[in-house]
Amino acid sequence: MRWLFRRVFWMGTGVSVGFGGAMWIRRRIQRAVEAVMPQRVSSNVAKGVRRAGGNVVGAVSEGRAAMQAREAEMRREYAPGMSRGRQVPRL
């Protein structure tokens, strides 16, 4: 009689592990399929383009600000009638 309980226990354990593994694999495959569906791919591409566009806009505005600052610095340094920050006497 004891062998019957062991057999039932191990049978139940095997069924449980098999079912749990099958459900885990099913969810994993379903997520992978959803990740490559056209709607998901297009939304991911759109998010990437928006993120890259934001980075480009930020870089361009930062570059323009640096350019304007350097231009103002050069205009002060090389203004007509100035030589290395000192005024040159006019003849």
Indicate whether 84 pLDDT > 80: no
Cα dihedral 70, 76, 77, 82, rounded to 10, equals 160
* Bridge partner residues of 83 (DSSP): 86
CA 15/CA 21 separation, integer angstroms = 10
Please report which residue ranges of the chain form alpha helices under DSSP H: 2-35, 38-77
pLDDT averaged over every residue in the chain:
83
Q: What would the pLDDT profile of 30-49 be if each residue is shown by its tens digit?
A: 888 887 777 777 777 788 88
Is residue 13 scored above 60 in pLDDT? yes
Say if residues 63 and 57 touch (Cβ distance below 8 Å). Answer: no
What are the boundaries of each domain within the chain? 1-35, 39-79
Phi-psi region of 70 (alpha: psi -120 to 50; beta: other; left: phi over 0): alpha
Structural Rg of the chain based on CA atoms: 36
Is a pLDDT exceeding 70 seen at residue 90?
no
